Structure 1
Amino acid sequence: MKKSIMTAAAALCLGIACSCSEEDYKTVDPSAGNILEMTASGTEIKLDEKKADSEALALNWTTGTNKGTGNAITYTFEMALKDSDYSSGYKEELGRKAYSKTWTAKALNDFLKSNFGAQSGVKASYKARVTASVAEYDDLAQESSVEFTVTPYEPVSTTLYMIGGAAPNGWSADNATELTRTSTGVFSWTGTLNEGELKFITTSGQFWPAYVREGSDASGKTLRYFSEQPSDDLDLKFNIPEARGYKITADILNLTFTLEEADVNKPPYDAIYFVGDPTGWSFVRMTQDPVNPFVFRYGTEFTSGGEFKFGTSDGSWENMYKASEESASIKNTGVQFVKGFDPDPKWKINDEETGKAYKIAFDITPGKESMNCVEFVPYESLWLIGSAAPHGWSLDDAASDDKCRLKAGDDKYILTWTGDLSAGEMKISCELKREWDGCWFMPTSANKPFNTVSDEVISFVDSNKDSGVDRKWIVENAGNYTITVNQLAETITIVKN
């Protein structure tokens, strides 16, 4: 039932508590004469994908009035085509303290297409209104509206592939080489190209639509778009002068093509940082693999769940490697590189996945980026095997006593051994498998001198997967040593006693 203003005023005069809390008084304009008025930042809006992240439309309004009742005001936003009823359009309950609706160019483009079937390049007229409703007083509702036109754009492709005699996979559209999207409309790829021709397609398995070389540009640095196959004289390709490493950048928004020589044996970043809820959002530098510098490793025990991602500079939230989707499972290997701040999808560790140790191998090889997070169950013992070890190459003898055995102490991930070594070669077995397969800890290079070191990186090798890897330490100076292996961090400390 509606209440009158007189009733509310009488109740206030008598000191009777109204239905609003003290906070409600703070949420509304105390003025009884404030008129609800909506304004638009523009009346003729042409959206441009080159300004996708810039503000395109802002609808703002004043608070309206509660006519001195002291009751809270809530707001309802509606939008419709100019010649349609609001009932057939979009409606959103905004609640209290809501005085604006804003969109970036991309957000407004998506909003109009999904809610009103807006057509790219076609101007349409819209109307929007806001309704201010006073709690418990239906007759005090106020409205204000504006009108404007918007012309949407057709978004460029979010995928881009290269084909041609110079491409790694040749002219096969089904096996085209995908470029990495670094921002809206911008794609890059670093790797080895052959001498020959090159062009770009937007969809794997389809030769068209495509971006080819613009013939009128003598520099050969301009792209031209065709939705379907043109005549042969327009289907021009880019020329790669010689086989070597290159970095390609294709900007399909500005239709530019850049080809730069690149050292394909050098990773794009020399440092990668793990950051997220498990670290309190501090940046933890990962270990760069000495064997493959494109891979960075991190071993840790997750005591709590939450989100994480990977940085390229300590403390910087730009130029980050992120998950391929929101709240990605730790089993999801997909990676995307984000140049700015957004989008910001992350991997998520669920509560039931905590209380366990994990090893992360993060590969930043351009075009082959991946995140592998594997649960690690620590070994209770490790064994020294080789001509320098107390039992030589005999696995059976090594298993018979503790002369070759590294044991864990209070920290289950750290194992230690003290004893005499002979001159010779040696590696460390995790399992003593009789077929000489299984898992091993080895030096990062073949025939590595067995010298005094502290927390030196070693390699964890699964012979079932890396059957060709068999590196050993060379002990030149026989004597008494203490060896400490951190199997989670994958490091070794050697002390000559």
Structure 2
Amino acid sequence: MPEISSLTLSVTPYDQPKNELYICGTANPAGSSLADAVKMDVGMDNGYTWTGFLNAGDFKLTPDRYSDVPFYGTKGNAYTLVYDELGNGGAEPLHVSEDGLYTVTADLEDMTVSVSRINTENVWMVGSATPYGWNLGDLAPMYKQDEGIFVYEGPLKQGELKFPMQNANKFEVPYIMAPEAGKDITGTGAIEYVTAANSTMHDNKWNVPADGDYRITLDFNRRTIVCERVDLSAQYAKMLEGKRLAANDMKLYLVGDATPCGWTISNANSLHYNYAADHNCLTWEGSLTKGEIKFPFIRSDKWEVPYYSAASFGEQPAEGGNQLTFVDNSGGGQPDRKWYITKAGYYQIKVDVVNRKVYFKETTGK
């Protein structure tokens, strides 16, 4: 009889590592050559994403930095990917019509692509050069002057600086950073977008060379930062208790059971000054509950500090603003008149230290 043999196979499934995918072409600000191609981030399944600056121009999606064939492009339908293996006209490059910040997503299973421009609404500042340092609860907001253009004008100290694009109370967020670590911020220079995933590994901060007043303009359209020294001493002279504000790096806080920090004055919420946004006002935005509020000049573990108070006890917000009263309570025993917020909501607070008024404006949260 012929012999009969048996064979047992053991099969273990595994996920095949995904191929890399790159963006290359004239739309890449780093350069149009293959060596300058930027790597996309690998997502779930067959998805790839990338966010950064693009020039007006064309780009392809290539599997490596060595050859532009084969590549992924489009043909006829801007949202459908076409694979061109031989470069014989089977696909056309993707196109960007204007400079800006974009997100590119590609799915190699569904063969779809999306190129979306990001219209940024908020940019903040953080670092040892800012009045509040590296405190994540004290990010300094920039003023949106125009689409893609953000401005800060005010005091800075010698130290480091970078620009978060989210106020999320953590450092792992997208940033606008310097192209190289420790670069002098003064003059005109290039800016770089860094994703949240790369923010701790690629942490290039600018250097502010000396204490003083500065005007900083971030231009997302031109991908530039312009920083110059300015003199705001005349403006400070107009401000009530201006010498105290200037000596305290323009710091002012809010505290009370209506505020996020409650009555913990050692963790009082900070207001910010930006001459470009409002010459006379320090501002704060956020959620308030029903309750009391006042504005100390100092974070402390005690209440014997100078502050702005209401003109009367339990004063409610007025449509035309409320009068500010400066109280130097350093020695204690001074009247403690606070404003009373009657309705919980999202508010913009402006403390006008020139005209001695405070404005509580209920608005829509960003």
After TM superposition, the score normalised by the length of structure 1 is 0.33
Give the structure, 1 or 2, with the largest relative contact order (CA under 8 Å, sep 6 or more): 2
After TM superposition, the score normalised by the length of structure 2 is 0.43
Which structure has the bigger radius of gyration? 1
